[in-house]
Amino acid sequence: MKLHLKIPQGLKKHVTNELLKSKDTFKKGELQTSWRHLERAHILGQAYPIEHSQAHWQMLLFAFRIKNTKEILGQIPRLLVGGIKSFVGEIPLGNSGGANVPPLKPMQIPMDLLVILESYKK
């Protein structure tokens, strides 16, 4: 079992960039684009407990802001369990993290994100 404790600094920059883009596009009222950046942050950071939890926290806040009860209820268990799953290396690769997909379903990783993730494999 491979434990994931600390995200590589370069990869963390990509996650942070997606989170910042999400905030920026949300302020502009571009909700779909904002959500897509949260999904991208989730995919990039899901193997690491802090970044995985951070993505779900931001998804939960987004859901509260737009008053989406289904997403709120979907994010709470993901927030509580996601970081633990990352820590022990049991994550469904590529899962976008939203309540619209099963939490354990692996998904295809967008090519640009796959290139980034591949560059940080050990």
Phi and psi angles of residue 81, each rounded to the nearest 5 degrees, phi first: -110, -25
Q: What is the predicted pLDDT for the residue at 2?
A: 60
The reply to whether 2 falls in a domain is no
How many structural domains is the chain composed of?
1
pTM over 0.85: yes
The reply to whether 66 falls in a domain is yes
The reply to whether 113 falls in a domain is yes
Question: pLDDT tens digit string along 62-79?
Answer: 999 999 999 999 999 999
The residue among 50 and 82 whose pLDDT is bigger is 50
Please report, for residues 8, 21, 22, 119, the alpha-carbon distance to residue 122 in angstroms, rounded to integers and kept in the order given: 10, 28, 29, 9
The reply to whether 3 falls in a domain is no
Whether 114 has a pLDDT exceeding 70, the answer reads yes
Q: Are 99 and 74 in contact (CB under 8 A)?
A: yes
Whether 53 has a pLDDT exceeding 80, the answer reads yes
Average pLDDT over residues 22-44: 98
Structure tokens belonging to residue 20: 């910042």
The reply to whether 42 falls in a domain is yes
The reply to whether 36 falls in a domain is yes
Whether 119 has a pLDDT exceeding 70, the answer reads yes
The reply to whether 4 falls in a domain is no
The reply to whether 1 falls in a domain is no
Range of the domain at 112: 9-119
